[in-house]
């Protein structure tokens, strides 16, 4: 019902406006809503040769395809990385989200790996890419904890791909041990957590410690159940343990959470663009009302 929707918007906007701390948890649903979809037309138009050759179904499951050679593997991955990171500009939904929270003391934890928060202008001390980023390679066997920025080599691989293969001369090798390289995503036990990862984790933990006893909004965006232990379950636990906290959940498919948090959760399964834009409008309206009220009292 529209009346119920706007009642939820008004309540959520008021909570965001009044909050002392704002913790944003962003999952795959946010990027999908922004247009970074891992299936459908975006996949079929950009990966036609790989679909025909390997029978791939979507960008998520194809990430685990058992290629027979490094030449085949990197032909695919150069296309995957380039499309999702280097060819994709910052999406409007991410910019709109940052407009909503820009005046708040906020922190972002995300399982997304497309680098959209950095592109949206979020300073590095305010976000934690816990699952990695497409822009970095690591040693496949994790012989060291160094990461290697990959834009130049990915561009070269892409330009020299033929019949779903790259030349053997372009296969990346670990500078330390000479072994195979891997994209630094948390898809196996050799995921590298370098000094920057630990610094971001410390920033996140420090921010969370500052929410204790303060009015805090946990804004959860498109977080499902692939890795619920990173954002979804911790957010619910922190809301449950803080009487001054509120969980605002935007999720098309997975609205329900802890029954004990029912009274401290506002859920939306409506279009994420609409919800965030309406929250901005209501926050602005609330600010104007309070300014007008203050001027009447002092006038």
> How confident is the model over 153-190, as pLDDT tens digits?
999 999 999 999 999 999 999 999 999 999 999 988 99
**What's the whole-number average pLDDT of the chain?**
94
Burial class of residue 53 in the structure, from the number of CB atoms within 10 Å of its CB (0-12 exposed, 13-18 middle, 19+ buried): middle
- Token pair 């410690």: residue: 209
* Average pLDDT value for residue range 226-233: 95
Q: What is the pTM of this model?
A: 0.93
- What average pLDDT score do residues 43-50 get? 97
CATH architecture of 2-298: 3-Layer(aba) Sandwich (3.40)
- Does residue 286 contact residue 17 with C-beta atoms inside 8 Å? yes
Lowest-confidence region among 8-12, 115-119, 202-206, 293-297: 293-297
256: pLDDT confidence band, cut at 50, 70 and 90?
confident
Which pLDDT does position 285 carry in this prediction? 87
Q: What are the structure tokens assigned to 103, written together?
A: 């005046």
Which residue in the block uniquely carries the two structure tokens 């949206």?
120
pLDDT (tens digit per residue) in 72-105: 999 999 999 999 999 999 999 999 999 999 999 9
**Distances 150 to 115, 147, 182, 204, 268 between C-alpha atoms, Å:** 14, 9, 11, 26, 38
pLDDT at 88: 97
pLDDT at 286: 84
Instruction: Identify the pLDDT of residue 38.
Output: 94
pLDDT at 219 over 80: yes
Confidence check: pLDDT of 291 > 80:
no
Average pLDDT over residues 228-252: 96
pLDDT score of 40 more than 70: yes
CA angle 136, 227, 51 (to 5 degrees): 60
Asked whether residue 248 carries a pLDDT value surpassing 70, the answer given is yes
**Looking at residue 292, what is its pLDDT?**
64
Tokens of 178: 């000479």
């Amino acid at each position: 019902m529209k009346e119920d929707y706007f009642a939820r918007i008004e309540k959520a906007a008021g909570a965001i406006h009044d909050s002392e701390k704002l913790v944003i948890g962003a999952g795959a649903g946010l990027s999908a809503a922004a247009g970074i979809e891992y299936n459908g037309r975006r996949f079929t138009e950009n990966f036609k040769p790989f679909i025909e050759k390997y029978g791939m179904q979507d960008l998520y499951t194809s990430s685990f395809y058992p290629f027979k050679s490094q030449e085949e593997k990197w032909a695919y991955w150069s296309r995957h990385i380039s499309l999702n990171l280097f060819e994709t500009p910052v999406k409007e939904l991410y910019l709109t989200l940052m407009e909503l929270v820009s005046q708040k003391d906020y922190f972002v934890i995300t399982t997304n790996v497309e680098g959209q928060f950095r592109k949206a202008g979020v300073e590095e001390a305010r976000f934690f890419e816990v699952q990695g980023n497409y822009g970095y390679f690591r040693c496949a066997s994790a012989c060291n904890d160094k990461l290697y920025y990959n834009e130049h080599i990915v561009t070269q691989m892409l330009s020299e791909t033929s019949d779903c293969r790259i030349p053997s001369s372009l296969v990346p090798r670990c500078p330390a041990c000479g072994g195979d390289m891997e994209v630094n995503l948390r898809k196996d036990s050799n995921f590298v957590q370098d000094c920057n990862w630990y610094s971001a984790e410390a920033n996140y933990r420090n921010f969370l410690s500052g929410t204790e006893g303060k009015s805090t909004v946990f804004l959860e965006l498109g977080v499902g159940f692939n890795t619920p232990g990173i954002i979804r379950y911790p957010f619910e636990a922190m809301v449950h343990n803080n009487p001054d906290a509120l969980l605002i959940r935007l999720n098309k498919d997975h609205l329900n959470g802890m029954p004990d948090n029912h009274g401290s959760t506002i859920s939306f399964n409506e279009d994420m663009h609409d919800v965030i834009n309406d929250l901005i409008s209501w926050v602005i309206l609330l600010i104007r009302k309070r300014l007008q009220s203050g001027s009447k009292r002092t006038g």
